[in-house]
Amino acid sequence: MGHITVVKPMTPLKIVFAGTPEFAAIILEALVKTCHQVVAVLTQPDRPSGRGLKVLPSAVKQKALLHQIPVYQPSSLKLDGKYASEALQIKGQLEALDFDVMIVAAYGLILPKWVLDFVQEKNDQGCINVHASLLPRWRGAAPVHRAIWSGDDYTGTTIMQMEVGLDTGPILATETMPIQSLDTTGTLHDRLAAQGARILIEVLNKIAHGAKIEPITQSINGVIYAEKIKKEDAKIQWSAEALLIDRQIRALNPSPGASTTLHQEIIKVWLSENMSQSWPKLPESQPGTIIDINELGICVSAMNGVVRLLEVQKAGAKRMSASLFAKSVQLKVGDIFK
């Protein structure tokens, strides 16, 4: 008689979901479509956004309201901090909720020890985080930006148990993803969010079936922090290598956008390509000098190479092809970006 494996029937999980931007909203939408139930959502308070600084709800809040999921928006979860009263209120609300597990994806607020301990009592896995890198590489705030800017050949998604440390917890699941030569943070972000949602659901289904997932302790080797993108990171330094400039432009698309100056006017650069390998002779002109303009774009000299600008935007205008921009401002070879 053959061996029979008995699989425990799935018991759908009740989930509290904590997240804020579009990355998290994609994951929340995927969770809503499963047999599991999202009973509450934590997201950051509504904030001014866009050129008009209109106060808008987060992408996660919009998704939660669409699915009629209760939303909580504390300014902080620290019981001894500036917003202690809000933290105390959310503590009572979480304690009153009937849920099994907390999922965190790009929430943006620190989860203090009391939250981690409280959730751990409900489920062996505790708070489960979806992180857009292959930990321990690119812990922190901007893992997708930094992977592209650093020229990584691949990245991926990690599902991990949360600890008090920043992205230091044991790994429950991970999967790699190649970074394409023309990937921007925007294109890679969307693929990673979809990947993260799929892997997360696989983990949750195992938990719901009663399976034991053995977490793997993160390696102490290869730890790199993905520093938050700052305003000054946006300015293109044309004296840098063409390879690095192209990575910078792609890493900062869609936000905040790489920028340069032409005739004392700030120009955003959204898409580019490194032409150094195919350029017949390395330019001797000052870095930032326009050396060719054609229907494909604007070719600019850099250190040891050439960058072709493909899509740009001047202040108050829409994004446009670099060739159309060149015609609209009567750009000529020899003009200099600074």
The pLDDT tens digits for 243-295 are 999 999 999 999 999 999 999 999 999 999 999 888 877 778 899 999 999 99
Helix H or strand E encompassing 120 = helix 113-120
Closest by CA position to 242, among listed 195, 189, 192, 309: 309
CB 285 within 8 A of CB 300: no
Closest by CA position to 196, among listed 331, 324, 22: 22
Residues 149-161: what's their mean pLDDT?
A: 97
Q: Residue 280, class by beta-carbon neighbours within 10 Å (0-12 exposed, 13-18 middle, 19+ buried)?
A: exposed
CA–CA–CA angle 136, 138, 139 (5° rounding): 70
Per-residue pLDDT at 195 exceeds 90:
yes
Q: In the prediction, which pLDDT does 2 show?
A: 44
Helix H or strand E encompassing 245 = helix 242-251
Q: In the prediction, which pLDDT does 7 show?
A: 56
Token reading at 148: 């592209």
Q: In the prediction, which pLDDT does 291 show?
A: 95
Q: Tokens 């023309």 appear where?
A: 182
Q: In the prediction, which pLDDT does 234 show?
A: 96
Dist CA 23 CA 154 (whole Å): 19
pTM value? 0.91
Per-residue pLDDT at 304 exceeds 90:
no
Token reading at 95: 């304690």
Amino acid found at 16? V
Token reading at 106: 């790009």
Q: Where in the chain is the domain with CATH 3.40.50.170?
A: 14-226
CATH fold group of domain 14-226: Rossmann fold (3.40.50)
CATH H-level superfamily of 231-328 = Formyl transferase, C-terminal domain (3.10.25.10)
CA–CA–CA angle 283, 284, 288 (5° rounding): 75
Token reading at 232: 């000054």
CB 236 within 8 A of CB 246: no
Q: Where in the chain is the domain with CATH 3.10.25.10?
A: 231-328
Dist CA 259 CA 265 (whole Å): 10
